[in-house]
A and B are shown apart, each in its own frame.
Chain A
Amino acid sequence: MVSELNFTFPLPAGLHARPASHLAEMISSLASEVSFSNLRNGRQADGRSPLAMVTTDTRAGDQCCFRLVGKGAKEGRERLENFLRGKFLAQESAFENASASPASLASPASPDSSAGKAGQLSRSLRATGVERFVRGSVACGGIGEGRIVWLKKNTPRLAPPPSGNGAASDSATETKCLDRALDAVEQRYRGELAAATGAAVAILKAHVSLLRDNVLKASMLELLGTGATAAAAVEHAIASFKRKLLASENACLRERTLDLDDIADQLVAEISGRAPAEGSEGLEARERREGRVELGEPAILLAERLTPRQFLSLDHQRLAGLALGDVGQTSHTVILARSFNVPTLIDVPLAGLRGFDGRGVLDAQTGILVFDEAPETSAKLSGYYSAEKRKLARIAARQADCIGKPARTADGFTMEIGANIVSAGEAAPAFRQGADGIGLFRTELLFADREQAPDEEEQYLAYAQIVREARGRPVIIRTLDIGGDKPAPYLPLPRENNPFLGCRGVRLYRGHAGLIETQFRALWRAAAHGPLKVMLPMVSCVEEARDFKALLERAGDRLRGEGAAIDASLSFGLMLEVPSVAFMLAELCAIADFFSVGTNDLTQYFLAADRENKTVESLHSPLHPSFLRLLKKLVDEVHAYGRWIGLCGRMAEEIPELPLLVGMGFDEISIPAAKIPAMKSAVAKLRRSDCETLLQSALASHTRAEAESIVTAGAGRAGGAAARGPLLEAALVDLEVEAATKHEAIRAIVNTLEIAGRTSEPVEVEEALWRREESYSTGFGSGFALPHCKSNHVSDNSIVALRLKQPVEWGSLDGRPVDFIICLIIRESDHGREHMRNMACLARLMTNETFQSRMRAVANADALVTLIATHLDTSANNRKSQPGTTIP
């Protein structure tokens, strides 16, 4: 019985380890034998062996054929066809899309924001005359300076076996040794898999799948049969597979050889007895024990390939930066580099640096490795990079400032700002950026992209990792929230006409009690490590809240009965996203400890407008007065019953709408970690009393447009309901600027903006300022310059004032060098009339000699701001402004 299935390979990255293991797992469930052939290159493989399929070098668009032989071949063909066109395609495409844009771990104005961007050299960098550099892709931002050093592998792979005489003992002993090693390494990988997150999970899964690959094992056994030692068998079998992969033109396949290297390292270490007993030490300790790469001084390490374990064995004190060749953005190595915050570039053409002996700069802001040592250039580069590092340090300090300090309004009201995360690995970066807690951990990603649900142990490890990272700060974990629109393969869901109004969120739990019980158990156990709060999604009635709370408690009782050391109670809360709950708050507050409003879904259900349907886009807006009144009601009542209420939807991310949320009195808002520092600054600019006034007006409005204009007007007006930055403040003044050239001075303007958090695209702003200079110089005489531009790359209209320690050539109208700069920047869209009037006024003032000498004479930043403020006040005496430290 033979059946054939022809198929065009659909995935852009080809048939690499991840989809191959997925495919092999499915084929293993079939009764018949399945062989795979690539009709373009003629290569064949056993369908049950992921490794064999990978080595067929199958690319997107290749014509392929599956040949099923034996019992059930016809049925198997049908199942295989459905799988290929359905689940396989959907999941693999989703995975590849997710890998293509890895979750951002960075803040807008921080080193990591350059990840993935093409390297555009700023004008000031080009002005240094730098010529010798290579480009790479940014994997982790920052600047590192040091000696350029090539990685030397220090751990010999072929270590003598325990018997010590270098010869194989009999084949049976060697086979047993190999089996033990395979088991031990598999156990270790599974342990790491449980603690890993995001992209790392899929990669480690592929590792496990490779380890169990029957073709690899057969090849190793064959070598053992010829009298090789276990270690040699591993080495040669893997080398042979690697050769086939490396010959591929597919970069994704070549990247996977890093994984094969790691497997070989691990197996050989295990065989030679250098591996510790399972579970007796952590990964980092083990790697360090296996030998560090000694770096005598700060160094930039170059390596074509670097495995995750090699990275961990490096001396991180002296590792200034990494320049890697063929290492993928989604490789485990890069994930580690980011969590250790090591400036890293990948895809760097390193061949040109062979034999180079000297110092360099790894500029992972721009995306280049500089090794230019020409004397004229060196000094200028040194100046440029010193300024860069000072700037980055100040930005990091500003972010660190947020840590441990809640957002506080000008009149003393605090609001927690939490982070929304989708994987355990995001917890550490979130807290580094000042998160006061995890406001929402969406557990769906743990359950996605896999054949079976994660077991209790795997979930427990992920939840525990987050709670430990939180060090006492609250962590809200939302239980599984999926539905007919985004199914998981192991959860067969009925087809629904209306998945958003169907079986989703808690409605699914009754039908999958085992799955939820497992999640509950893992949560109880993780709660032993710190304040963990469990939150249920999509609750629409009291019955659901009661029933599932009871289930949660029973899971806890069972664990206690088994002798587990868990707490007496677990904080239990609900998402508020179905409008019905607004009228059952008395009852729900008796059942739940806390609530979080999911504005995305709540808006959708409340205004009956599909959030993905563009034709009803204007209805899906939280600024409809009805929705604002709903929110106010929720907050008021929840507080009346003494409970906590937060907000975790897109509405929380909009700075203009922040005054409404502050006015309502939400205890917390939870947003992507990257936005936290800016949000805390925005809260600090507000006065709660003014926000309440603004809110009252918005609540009394009749239409969305009215509410919107009230909010916008509030933002533009002087006073405490404006979360936008003022035109000029002390943070935008620097009276001690070191700049030797006009390029450095203009760079200093842009740096000031970046440090103040007003731009995340400084290179663009620098360009805009230079374009204006190209018309004619903005140096208008007497040592003053007025550079200016229109740009949407700044978040607020801004005036930057710099006094240079030394005057610089500016090409001024009177030929004199410049030492005092006032820079005006207006946004192209939403530039306020008031701001432009102030700027025009200031431009006029600058031509006045008395004003000029007063500016030169100021003692500090505050004095300059006051000087300008009072003069603008006098000039436009229809405005009321307090002499103080800002100009509104």
Chain B
Amino acid sequence: MKIIAVTACPTGIAHTYMAAEKLEQAARALGCQIKVETQGAMGIENELTASDIAAASGVIFAVDIEVERRERFDGKKIVHVPVKDAIKAPQAVIAKLK
């Protein structure tokens, strides 16, 4: 099963990437595939494509701010958590998606 997620924190220097890293670690531990798009100070990286989104049943928004180009995810199930939750308990966040 492929999980998709978007991380975005206000300053965009640190927590955006830490959350991405923690989600990736947690997914590996659970034996899932994951693709995390980061929206930080350098802009959108590892962008989720239309096919990535179509193939997924839902998306994790681990964000403290508005998601950029949110319209891509219209109609999708969204799990919306603060960035710190993804850092503190990433496996629990992933579980919410199921």
Contacts and interface: CB of A to CB of B under 8 A. Distances in A.
Interface of A: 772, 775-776, 778, 780-781, 786, 788-790, 813-814, 824, 826, 831, 833, 836-837, 839-841, 843-844, 846-848
Contact of B18 (A775, A790, A831, A846): A846
Contact of A847 (B10, B11, B18): B18
A847 B88 contact: no
A788 B14 contact: yes
A828 to B, nearest CB: 10
B68 to A, nearest CB: 17
Contacts of B16: 840
Given A781-B87, A813-B84, A824 B25 contact: no
Contacts of A846: 18
Contact of A837 (B11, B22, B25, B42): B42
B88 A813 contact: yes
Given A772-B11, A780-B88, A826-B41, 18 more contacts: A778-B15, A780-B87, A781-B87, A786-B18, A788-B14, A790-B11, A831-B41, A836-B40, A839-B14, A840-B13, A840-B38, A840-B42, A843-B15, A843-B17, A844-B18, A847-B21, A848-B21, A848-B25
A780 B82 CA distance: 13
B18 A814 contact: no
Contacts of A843: 13-15, 17-18, 21
Nearest to A777: B84
From B11, B40, B82, name the one whose CB has the most chain A CB atoms within 10 angstroms: B11
A843 B22 CA distance: 11
B57 to A, nearest CB: 26
Interface in B68-89: 82, 84, 87-88
Interface string B1-13: 0000000001101
B6 to A, nearest CB: 15
Contacts of A844: 17-18, 20-21
9 contacts: A776-B82, A781-B88, A786-B15, A790-B13, A833-B42, A840-B13, A843-B18, A848-B21, A848-B25
Contacts of B17: 840-841, 843-844
Given A781-B88, A846-B18, A840 B40 contact: yes
Nearest to B42: A836
Contacts of A840: 13-14, 16-17, 38, 40, 42
A688 B61 CA distance: 50
Nearest to B84: A776
Nearest to A844: B21
From B14, B16, B22, name the one whose CB has the most chain A CB atoms within 10 angstroms: B14
Contacts of B11: 772, 788-790
Contacts of A775: 10, 64
Contacts of B15: 778, 780, 786, 843
A847 B7 CA distance: 15
A844 B13 CA distance: 11
B90 to A, nearest CB: 10
A786 B21 CA distance: 15
A814 B88 contact: yes
Interface in B23-43: 25, 38, 40-42
B64 A836 contact: no
Contacts of A789: 11
B88 to A, nearest CB: 4
From A786, A788, A840, name the one whose CB has the most chain B CB atoms within 10 angstroms: A840
Nearest to A846: B18
A100 B36 CA distance: 57
A879 to B, nearest CB: 15
A775 B64 CA distance: 10
A555 B71 CA distance: 85
Nearest to A822: B14
B41 A780 contact: no
Contacts of B40: 836, 840
Nearest to A787: B14
Contacts of A778: 14-15
Contacts of A847: 18, 21-22, 25, 87
A264 to B, nearest CB: 62
Contacts of A848: 21, 25
A213 to B, nearest CB: 65
A788 B13 contact: yes
Contacts of A776: 82, 84
B46 to A, nearest CB: 11
Nearest to B14: A843
A279 to B, nearest CB: 66
B84 to A, nearest CB: 5
A826 B13 contact: yes
A421 B14 CA distance: 45
Contacts of A814: 88
A636 to B, nearest CB: 43
Nearest to B82: A776
A824 B13 contact: yes
A780 B9 CA distance: 14
Contacts of A772: 11
Nearest to A780: B87
A826 B14 CA distance: 11
Given A775-B64, A781-B87, A839 B21 contact: no
A786 B18 CA distance: 10
A242 to B, nearest CB: 59
Give the 6 A-B CB pairs with smallest separation, nearest first. A844-B21, A843-B14, A813-B88, A840-B17, A843-B17, A847-B21
Contacts of A831: 41
B63 to A, nearest CB: 13
Contacts of A826: 13, 41
B55 to A, nearest CB: 25
A196 B53 CA distance: 78
A776 to B, nearest CB: 5
Nearest to A789: B11
From B11, B13, B25, B38, name the one whose CB has the most chain A CB atoms within 10 angstroms: B13
A786 B25 CA distance: 19
A790 B13 CA distance: 9
A686 to B, nearest CB: 28
Nearest to B40: A840
A826 B42 CA distance: 12
B24 to A, nearest CB: 9
Contacts of B88: 780-781, 813-814
Contacts of B38: 840
A256 to B, nearest CB: 53
A813 B41 contact: no
Contacts of A780: 15, 18, 84, 87-88
A814 B15 CA distance: 15
Nearest to A826: B13
A469 B88 CA distance: 62
A508 B11 CA distance: 59
Contacts of B25: 847-848
B29 to A, nearest CB: 12
